[in-house]
Structure 1
Amino acid sequence: MTGSPRGSQKARDTLEYLRDNISSGAWAVGDLIPKEPELMELIGVGKSTVREAVRSLATFGMLQTVPGVGTFVRARTPVSTILTEFLVDHDLEEVLVYRRSLEIEAAQHAAVNRSEEQLVLLRDAFARSHGGAAAIDRCDQSSTPGSFHLLIVEASGSKLLLDLYLGVISVLQKASADGRVILGTTPETMHLDHEAVLKAIEARDVRNAAHSMALHVDRDLGLRTDMLEFSPQTERATSLIDAGYDPGQSEL
């Protein structure tokens, strides 16, 4: 950053102020940070300094600006960004398998650790996601603040799991934008899957939370080259059912 030494110090102070509030949890993941005028008053700097600091943290994956809404906290640390850069060089099929593992682990922990407030947010997200094509879009935007999948990861109570998840989803969203990863399910099936996961988390049923999420992630995203043989029930899903899982327990 160019400018006078005083200006550089103000930029560093602004960046540190924002980063400290994020890493300490004062601004939680998914929260809107204060608006630009408020930040200018709180820190005592100008508009350009605030904007530069926000852009820097957005580059690191810690903030996400949504036009017309505001700037959300996306991650407590730059871990997710570093992981994203690392995973770009790996096979997409392996990334999908890794994402599956994280989603299942998150669902299990959410069934144990979720709060009543988080359960309310999950119910609201589930209700919003039920509605035709809009439902499909939301599952492929799993790092959007307030999305069903992200709320489950947050409810797991694991900050490391959240950072890892955001890194993985960032890679898959880029692959989706490039047409290499596509959705392999219908809005109706996705709604039933989400309902099963939600009910398991509501009941604090760890086993069904894991099984319901496993069935869901086995069929919601896949590689475009796989789509000719893509079916609602994959080999992994069949093995789970054969192992004794009864989908009727979750009203699928």
Structure 2
Amino acid sequence: MALSAAGRTSLVDAVVEQLRAQLADGEWAVGDRIPTEHELADLLGVGRNTVREAVRVLVHAGLLESRQGNGTFVRSTADPSAVLRGMRHAGALDVLELRVALEAEAARLAAARRETHDLLRLRAALTTLREEGDRDADADLAFHLAVVEATHNRAFTEVYRFFSAQVHEQLVEALGDHAMPPVDLDQHEALVVAIEAGDARVAEEAARELLRVPMEVVAALTGGAR
């Protein structure tokens, strides 16, 4: 099915909606590479910059994935916007409880399934976290993503990627970076040690302990509101 040319008003939004519709209609399957910026610009009758911005919107939404040097690929044909809207209405404590559930199970699975390259990546992520400082959200997220990817469960990894950015945005919006406690580097170390040892029970407990203080802080700041 060919794309129809977009009008001149709200061009980026129009292109986003057309590409979103094409994905929902099955024009491209998950894993397919979509046409290049140049090809899409010709099909839609718009400039390449407009296409580039529209693609960025869909990458951020989790529908597309940009791979440097290879092109842009379909990550999902299901629009997650409804889920995102629901997340934004959730309270900070609700969001943290979701994070505990995901990360505790990830730690347990990682301890049972980790391979040598996973352990090396975890150590490297921990080193970066120590070097970047105990309030670097990006370094902390990279560490926890390394734990999740050590589960070797693709579905788990995709779900965590999808939700983790929303978790961080929700907490910052509700509380501000300054209100959150610094990252507990020693507890991160304890989690890595448990995964290295293959101790699933201790790894799960370490993951829960990592988030105990943030949950207590959030509960105190919000009065336990959800």
Q: From the superposition, tell whether residues 105 and 71 of structure 1 become closer, same or farther in structure 2 (CA, over 3 Å).
A: farther
The alignment of Structure 1 onto Structure 2 pairs a total of residues equal to: 197
| Rounded Cα–Cα distance in structure 1 between residues aligned with 2:222 and 2:94 | 19
Q: From the superposition, tell whether residues 151 and 228 of structure 1 become closer, same or farther in structure 2 (CA, over 3 Å).
A: same
Residue pair 2:128, 2:139 contacting (<8 A) in 1 also: no
> SS state of the match for residue 169, structure 1?
helix
Distance apart, 1:207 and its partner CA: 0.9
Task: State yes or no: 1:171 paired with 2:166.
Answer: yes
Residue pair 1:141, 1:173 contacting (<8 A) in 2 also: no
| Rounded Cα–Cα distance in structure 1 between residues aligned with 2:201 and 2:161 | 24
Match of 1:213 in 2: 207
Aligned to 1:149, which of 132, 136, 144?
Answer: 144
Distance apart, 1:62 and its partner CA: 4.3
Deviation readout 1:155-174 (Å, 9 max, x if unpaired): 21223323332343233222
Q: From the superposition, tell whether residues 130 and 113 of structure 1 become closer, same or farther in structure 2 (CA, over 3 Å).
A: same
Distance apart, 1:136 and its partner CA: 1.8
Provide the TM-score with structure 1 as the length reference: 0.59
- Please list every run of 5 or more consecutive structure 2 residues that lacks an aligned counterpart in the other structure: 7-14, 43-47
| Rounded Cα–Cα distance in structure 1 between residues aligned with 2:176 and 2:139 | 10
Distance apart, 1:98 and its partner CA: 1.5
Match of 2:134 in 1: 135
Provide the TM-score with structure 2 as the length reference: 0.65
One-letter identity of the residue aligned with 1:219: V
Match of 1:102 in 2: 102
- Please list every run of 5 or more consecutive structure 1 residues that lacks an aligned counterpart in the other structure: 28-38, 230-252
Output aligned runs, 1:58-207, within 5 Å. Answer: 58-62=59-63, 76-77=75-76, 81-131=81-131, 134-138=133-137, 142=141, 147-180=142-175, 184-187=180-183, 190-207=184-201
Decide which moves more: 165-174 or 94-103.
165-174
Q: From the superposition, tell whether residues 151 and 168 of structure 1 become closer, same or farther in structure 2 (CA, over 3 Å).
A: same
Q: What is the aligned-residue RMSD (CA, Å)?
A: 4.3
Residue pair 1:200, 1:206 contacting (<8 A) in 2 also: yes
Output aligned runs, 1:1-40, within 5 Å. Answer: 3=5, 23-24=30-31
| Rounded Cα–Cα distance in structure 1 between residues aligned with 2:61 and 2:222 | 37
Match of 1:57 in 2: 58
Q: Relative contact order, CA 8 A, sep 6+: which one is greater?
A: 2
